[in-house]
Amino acid sequence: MAEDKNLQVVCLQRTSQNKFLRLDVDDADELAAGFPKTREELFKYRGLILGSVEAGFFTADQLRMIAEFVSQRGGGLLTLGGRHSFAEGGYAPTPLAEVLPVVFEDGRDPKQPFFAEMKVEPTPFGMTHGVTQLAATEEKSAERWKSLPPLSTLNPIRRTKPGAVSLLLGRGAGLPGAQVVLAYQRYGAGKALAFTVDDSWLWQMHADIPLEDMTHENLWRQLLRWLVSGVPGPVTVSVSSPRTSPGSPVTILATVTDETHLKVNDAQVVAHVKDPSGGEQELPLEWTVGKDGEYGARFTPPDKGAYEVRVEAERAGKPLGSETAQVQAADLATEYFGAEMRRPLLERIAEETGGRFYTPQTVKALAEDIKYGGGGATVQETKPLWDMPALYLAIVALVSAEWAYRKAGGLA
């Protein structure tokens, strides 16, 4: 990963009891005391990779903090296989057992050594996922997976949790079923991955792999980029409409957290809105009250063009972070956006205006409804009384009855 300018991998390697090798740290104090002991220290990272290290290495607070790193911080957790990983590392009774996407085997003594060699293959979902693509096309990627040398596992894992997805499986003579090699699941605000092999380096160092082959490097770069993709910073920004027309107001919403990624309501939040001509205006964001850590404001782009909205937050004079959003103002061809049927709106309009809402199944009644509906133009048609025999006879009968009644009373 050293050549990847988009990622920095800080390594803490245990060399002996209470002694560690630190690689690629920013300063002499980073991780000087070993694994982070506070949320502030751990939560500044976006991803966490656990190798073959037993659960007893961590304190109960650190294990709980790792779980919160995923669920609250929104970070990515990647666990690798090894003699001291998963159930073999004593993780079954820890909070990480819930975070991980795999199910530990029941009724097996984790102290009993296990070893199996297997051939790794992608699942149908893994064939289309960007992380497990080893070539430009799916067909070439499938051929590359078939040509890779087998790997080994020390952790028998054959099941994933209901919400988890498997990308890679392993099959071999020493396995009673398919081994879960790579799986992931969403957990809270973050995601957790399990890579259950302990020797993926064979895909680089095996005798059958040419020295110039980049399969191993590309797989790990894709895997680690995915691990930290979408991990939020202390300030996140969204706009009500990234595409709008000039003169239409746009709502800016920002969520602000502190160093421990707990939402704060007493921060000073300012949006710097840069217009297409390069001019800039400052717009203070106020706490919305409805949600913790949420701040909002509105601005109206007067002209066409691209507007850059950079939101900065600080608390007690200490910067918390910043993030940028984009708004494009133009004459929109709105018929090309959101053209789907909005049934609740149409039903409400029909109800308020005395109309009716039709579906393709009921539209055949439209002609009759129009014919006998109360709306529209009314045409009055006048017909002589003689053209209605029933009414004429009824009138004659009434008149005759009245005359007969008067005759019987001596009035006629």
List pLDDT tens digits, range 47-65: 999 999 999 999 999 999 9
Residue in 217, 214, 110, 219 with CA at minimum distance from that of residue 155: 110
pLDDT digits (tens, 9 = 90+) for 191-246: 999 999 989 999 999 999 998 999 999 999 999 999 999 999 999 999 998 989 89
> How many residues are given for the chain?
412
Same domain, 367 and 322: no
The Cβ of residue 48 has, within 10 Å, a number of other Cβ atoms equal to 21
Same domain, 356 and 392: no
Residues 148 and 120: their CA atoms lie apart, in Å, by 8
Residues 294 and 262: their CA atoms lie apart, in Å, by 12
Average pLDDT over residues 132-143: 92
Same domain, 269 and 216: no
Whether residue 398 is contained in a domain is answered as yes
Q: How confident is the model at residue 385, as a pLDDT?
A: 66
The Cβ of residue 24 has, within 10 Å, a number of other Cβ atoms equal to 11
Whether residue 14 is contained in a domain is answered as no
Q: How confident is the model at residue 373, as a pLDDT?
A: 65
Same domain, 398 and 351: no
Q: Pick the last residue of a domain from 187, 203, 228.
A: 228
DSSP 260: T
Report the Cα 375 to chain-centroid distance in Å.
48
Residue in 323, 320, 325 with CA at minimum distance from that of residue 308: 325
Residues 271, 310: contact at Cβ < 8 Å?
yes
Q: How confident is the model at residue 335, as a pLDDT?
A: 65
Same domain, 197 and 48: yes
Whether residue 27 is contained in a domain is answered as no
Residues 71, 187: contact at Cβ < 8 Å?
yes
Q: Pick the last residue of a domain from 228, 255, 283.
A: 228
Residues 412, 406: contact at Cβ < 8 Å?
yes
Q: What percent of the chain has pLDDT over 90?
A: 71
Whether residue 23 is contained in a domain is answered as no
Same domain, 203 and 130: yes
**Domain encompassing residue 176:** 35-228
Residues 50, 20: contact at Cβ < 8 Å?
no
First to last CA, the chain: 122
Same domain, 53 and 159: yes
Q: Could you tell me the CATH number of the domain that includes residue 65? A: 3.40.50.880
CA atoms 35, 37, 40, 46: torsion sign = positive
Whether residue 29 is contained in a domain is answered as no
Same domain, 148 and 185: yes
How are beta strands 280-287 and 268-274 bridged, if at all? Answer: antiparallel
92-103 exposure pattern, b = at least 16 Cβ within 10 A, e = fewer: eebbbbebbbbb
Compute the half-sphere exposure of residue 101: CA atoms within 13 Å on the CB side of its CA: 27
Whether residue 57 is contained in a domain is answered as yes
Residues 354, 342: contact at Cβ < 8 Å?
no
Q: Could you tell me the CATH number of the domain that includes residue 282? A: 2.60.40.1930
Same domain, 222 and 242: no
Same domain, 314 and 359: no
Per-residue pLDDT for 267 more than 80? yes
Per-residue pLDDT for 75 more than 90? yes
Cβ neighbours of residue 319 closer than 8 Å, sequence gap 6 or more? 312, 313
Mean pLDDT taken over the chain: 90
Using CA atoms, how far residue 286 sits from 146, 232, 255, 312, in Å, is: 57, 21, 11, 13
Whether residue 97 is contained in a domain is answered as yes
Residues 142 and 47: their CA atoms lie apart, in Å, by 29
- Confidence band, pLDDT 50/70/90 cuts, at residue 176: confident
- 3-class secondary structure for 328-394? EECCCCHHHCCCCCCHHHHHHHHHHCCCCCCCCCCHHHHHHHHHHCCCCCCCCCCCCHHHCHHHHHH
Nearest 5°: the CA angle 161, 163, 165 is 80
Residue 387 in tokens? 């053209």
Same domain, 270 and 186: no
Q: What percent of the chain has pLDDT over 70?
A: 95
pLDDT digits (tens, 9 = 90+) for 313-328: 999 999 999 999 999 9
Q: Pick the last residue of a domain from 228, 249, 272.
A: 228
Instruction: Characterise 74 by phi-psi region: left (phi > 0), alpha (psi -120 to 50), beta (else).
Output: left
Same domain, 108 and 149: yes
Whether residue 197 is contained in a domain is answered as yes
Per-residue pLDDT for 301 more than 80? yes
Q: How many domains does the chain have?
A: 4
Residue in 220, 292, 306 with CA at minimum distance from that of residue 258: 292
Q: How confident is the model at residue 146, as a pLDDT?
A: 94
